[in-house]
Structure 1
């Protein structure tokens, strides 16, 4: 088997080894994650820097588990969930429908906000609609090669702009290093958990196996390649989130400047950069803001649509290898349409409180669901013995599951208070 690993790795050109991992990491880091990180820097300076490292490790572990299951078994993650019982289907069905509707509106609003600040001319709503339609066009045919190149370009823009903004602020390296010591500031437990959990994705983590398949990595021979891909992608993401925290700490915490929660906070930061360094700095940052928001939109339009196509094909008696379960099929395109057009109504009518609450609660339940089901799948005969979890993987996954259960409880409590 090791010979197959070496052959697979050596047969893939070095520049092609990084692909699906970068896609899943970029898709998971959107405008909302940037704002959460900026606010953490604004409130606590570098105190929560260690959370960025922890968050990257958490996502590397979960995504590696999802990828390992798919490569070792040749089955999709949804096929794995179904093997655990009908309860997984009953959970996933309402989740993916409600999540898609609300996320579609949020993603278009985020990209629209960035373009309205960057270019102007149209309202946030109309720029958002244009972004949604562009996302639809980019993924409609399901050609993975094109999709991956688009995501790589967006990642390049967001990485260069945010790291550039961090370097521009001339971070205090001494204070930066002190942030690597684990500590939770007074009143900062929720921020700590949210920052660690927000480094790169929720449902899109489960899409990793589908992107591996679209890439053509579908056997255990690609296990080593997958692990390199996943680790490098989240290191890049970690640097990006670290840069965001630096900007929040240097520009906001040190000067006691507050920004709004929500995507509008990024516009506030663009104004701060513009006032301090000139109009060009604000515009460059807004370009990075747009790239982060657009990478999440395009990634979800493709990856979660692949998950929905697999889900619908399986519950209708088909198989995950059927054409209808793959990119370009009827169900894949149906979900793209669901993500794009019905949510446009929310851009005009506002966001119904009950739907937002349902979205928040279901979303909070997904990460514990993923961690617990991966533990189940990767420790039983559903996975070949050679590729089951080792002790260190189990310890890490249990810790991760407990952390996300704590986040879930907090989110449910917050939803009850708002109801």
Structure 2
């Protein structure tokens, strides 16, 4: 039987932004297999030039409505590093706590609303509200707790206004932290239910593995989300300031977003990369979830990124409780509302990096003596994953072609299309965030 397939899957669903899957197979020969990013470039690096140091974190938070806080933290850290601004231990704990909120929001949204329908043979989460109402309600409760955590620390769920260079304009009260801790503690039963559900459905995750490089932040002190060195499973650690030695951005014809590579043709960032690089520093309950899925480092199954997101969600709940305990034990240092730290503005260059839900995020700014930005560069997690998605597709399609016709449950075209869509969704891409290509020469 002739193995000829023509797939032109425009606008892959249940991902943020627009991307296409294109596969053309003639008589068993793969003539084209592409992951295409077709969004228009958004030029945020250009938008912040000539803006004040006070504005950049608010502008760049609009890069993404899902991980806006991660962009703010990377931006703030870049500004603070450029101007030698120190933040207090209390503010660092509060920032770590806030980042947990955003990670919970994003991971639960993806696992519960975007990936779960694939495992339950549904086109979206909407029909699951009727077929699996209790499961959907459980996901909503956990997601809402992440929203409340972000709201309590940042002032609102997205594009938070309390985050400023040097700290916070307003901090939560001790009573708010106590109430938040109680909600976090009451969520573990729901988290366990979600873990059991995904484990029961995990046989539907493709048993596909391709050895690749994983890059994330890493720290000896904690599971690195807010601080750390850059770490590669291939090449070891490097200071964040030297990020360009790892990211090596380049352009390809089928993508309006830049690609990256380090030691190999591509690498992966995100939850699976972090678990692979930082497994020993996961919280106890998070490790228990990882063990349920036999998730051991270094795991090269890209579909396991969804499981790693679930593991990280449990870690964020447990670590958030520990952070709140530390803050309450030492007592909050009070500060007035609309607080503005005393900052000496000066020229300099700074690089800031945090782990956004989808992977390591880097902002790089240069300021003049008046605190006006003269150049900027943002390296987005999904940017760094595009190349790895492409290489995974190139390796996965031949594996599907090898399956004998009598063993297929679906047609070859449908099977390839579904497997590739699930692969893309496993990476949880934020495609709009990644389309920042800019190469402009200004001539006076």
Q: What TM-score do you get using the length of structure 1 for normalisation?
A: 0.30
Greater radius of gyration (CA): 2
Higher strand share: 2
Q: Greater RCO between the two (CA within 8 Å, min separation 6)? A: 1
